Amino acid sequence: MGAAFGQKPLGPVLHLYRSQLHPQHRQITYTKPSSKNLEPHFSVESQAFGGSALKKSSSVASTGSKRMIPLGTGRPSPEYYPWIRSLESKQFDTYSEAITKETNPPAANGHHQLALQVSTKHDDGYNLALALNYGHAHVELVHNPSYSNWDTCLTAGTTSALEIAFRIFCNRGDIVLSEKYTYPGTIKAINLVGAQMQAVDLDKAGASAIYLKEILDKWDISRGPKPTVFYTIPCGQNPTDTTQSLKRRQQILEVAEEHVLIIIEDDPYYFLRPGLCSTGADSDISADGVPSYLFLDTFGRVVRLDSTSKILAPGLRAGWVTANASIIEKFLAYQEVSTVAVSEPVQMMLYILLDDNWGHTGFFSWLDFLSQQYRIRRDLMLEACSKYLPQDICTWVPPDYGMFLWLELDWRKHPQFKDGLSCGSLSLNLLEIENNILQLALEDGVQVTKGSLFRCSKKPIEELHFRMTFAAASEQDLTQGVRIFAGSIRKEFTIY
């Protein structure tokens, strides 16, 4: 353990975490180069935008050693918050089982709810600055960025962070590069800022670096300015559930360097892989497996988005972004006029869970537990697929981890095409077949997602896909659901 991928030993990092990572010492002091200056990448809008002057003036009033009498900011005094007393005592005791430092890692009996106990040592309340420091230390432990001026800030989840990221980097009419099939929330966020998308083909090792390079080498500027942003979901890609190999990531970083690209690394499924982090003492924590872009990037081209949605609970609406400090400054400015902050009770829940109860070791242990659960569910779904799906029509690649199974259906086997009866455009026919299958599945009580929803290209559809997730249904329902869905496909393809 210790040395991750033979490049950056974690020993000094752990030492830093223990002894130095206090809010006053957040800048890492040991010798790392600075990132490249990415400010020329900022959109016209974001270059001119500095956030809320009012918010900045109020934060000046509340910091520093000199006592400030607050006559400036319209913020009620804490004595008029109805909850503050109870947050300082025991109000979070709504969960069934306590996980204390003694019982970490989570008990193996399957019950992992947490009593968020607030101990008396917090009589003067929680220091949320320290909670944020946990996030910084976590990034340091897992990704250990290569340059000195990186920073991190909380976000109200990745959906919000994506919108902000595209505002920071895109002008209207820009074209963003992305995997051919991608998260629909991203497609909408890109369209919302007036930008378009260009699909990059995928194979089993993830987005194709060769194709990415070809697009950029041959860019015809009559289409618009050459893209400057590549958006990617490198692990357990949504929806295809491919995970980019190390080699692929290195190749893509080379293309990014050659063509001066920002890489937006949207990585909510990163932690859902068993064995990512060992669960022993602190010194045993290491980033095994394929490293993140943030880890590999030596120039500061990567904007990494993390979310608590897949690893703790989606309703928290919390995540964090890591990038070079000038980009984080822009994120903070945009948040000042939109989400403002992650709700403080949520921050407090996270602090109590991560810092007070679990610590880094307990958190990694939780992630390992969760990953193993998903592995069991993945295997159940794969077993059901092999058993029930018509394999002359359906193909899939077993995912390493993540939450999804991406099915490809061979439309040539559909009676409309098999019998040479097809009329109208292929695309319209495929959309109709896709819709028919979905309707049949819904009528039979199974919800699946149409592949066409994940297309970032506006070109006519030429492939027929469905995405299934093994994250949501109970283990028993997973098998049943696949069996029923297989029946819907058979009905539409008239095979019995």
Given 159, 228, 365, 371, the residue binding ligand PMP (CB under 6 A): 159
Taking the least distance from each CB to ligand PMP, the nearer of 268 and 291 is 268
Q: Are the beta carbons of 456 and 187 closer than 8 angstroms? A: yes
Q: Does 232 bind ligand PMP (CB under 6 A)?
A: no
Q: Which range, of 65-73, 134-142, 307-315, 454-462, touches ligand PMP by CB under 6 A?
A: 307-315
| E strand map for 80-207 | 150-155, 175-179, 196-200, 202-203, 206-207
Q: What is the nearest approach in angstroms of ligand PMP to the Cβ of residue 106?
A: 22
DSSP conformation class of 131:
H
Q: Does 266 bind ligand PMP (CB under 6 A)?
A: yes
Q: Which two tokens stand for residue 64?
A: 């520093």
Q: Does 265 bind ligand PMP (CB under 6 A)?
A: no
Q: What is the dihedral of CA 372, 373, 379, 384, to 10 degrees?
A: 180
Q: What is the nearest approach in angstroms of ligand PMP to the Cβ of residue 204?
A: 19
Taking the least distance from each CB to ligand PMP, the nearer of 185 and 224 is 185
Given 309, 343, 372, 457, the residue binding ligand PMP (CB under 6 A): 309
Q: Does 157 bind ligand PMP (CB under 6 A)?
A: yes
Q: Which range, of 155-163, 242-250, 291-299, 373-381, touches ligand PMP by CB under 6 A?
A: 155-163
Q: What is the nearest approach in angstroms of ligand PMP to the Cβ of residue 308?
A: 7
**In 143-298, where does DSSP find H-type helix?**
158-169, 184-192, 209-217, 246-259, 293-296
Given 99, 176, 190, 233, the residue binding ligand PMP (CB under 6 A): 233
Site for ligand PMP in 169-188 (CB under 6 A): 183, 185
Q: Which range, of 28-36, 157-165, 335-343, 378-386, touches ligand PMP by CB under 6 A?
A: 157-165
Phi-psi region of 317 (alpha: psi -120 to 50; beta: other; left: phi over 0): left
Phi-psi region of 236 (alpha: psi -120 to 50; beta: other; left: phi over 0): left
Q: Does 343 bind ligand PMP (CB under 6 A)?
A: no
Q: Are the beta carbons of 394 and 409 closer than 8 angstroms? A: yes
Q: Which two tokens stand for residue 382?
A: 């794969």
Q: How many CB atoms lie within 10 A of CB 451?
A: 22
Site string for ligand PMP, 64-83 (x = CB under 6 A): --------------------
Q: Does 105 bind ligand PMP (CB under 6 A)?
A: no
Total residues contacting ligand PMP (rule CB under 6 A)?
13
Q: Does 238 bind ligand PMP (CB under 6 A)?
A: yes
Per-residue burial over 403-420, b if 16 or more Cβ lie within 10 Å, else e, is: bbbbbbbebeebebbeee
Q: What is the nearest approach in angstroms of ligand PMP to the Cβ of residue 268?
A: 5
Identify the sign of the CA torsion 457, 459, 462, 465. Answer: positive
Taking the least distance from each CB to ligand PMP, the nearer of 185 and 359 is 185
Identify the sign of the CA torsion 139, 141, 143, 145. Answer: positive
Given 135, 268, 289, 300, the residue binding ligand PMP (CB under 6 A): 268
Pairing verdict, β 404-409 and 196-200: unpaired
CA distance linking residue 368 with residue 286, whole number of Å: 13
What is the contact surface with ligand PMP in residues (CB under 6 A)? Answer: 157-159, 183, 185, 233, 238, 266, 268, 307, 309, 314, 319
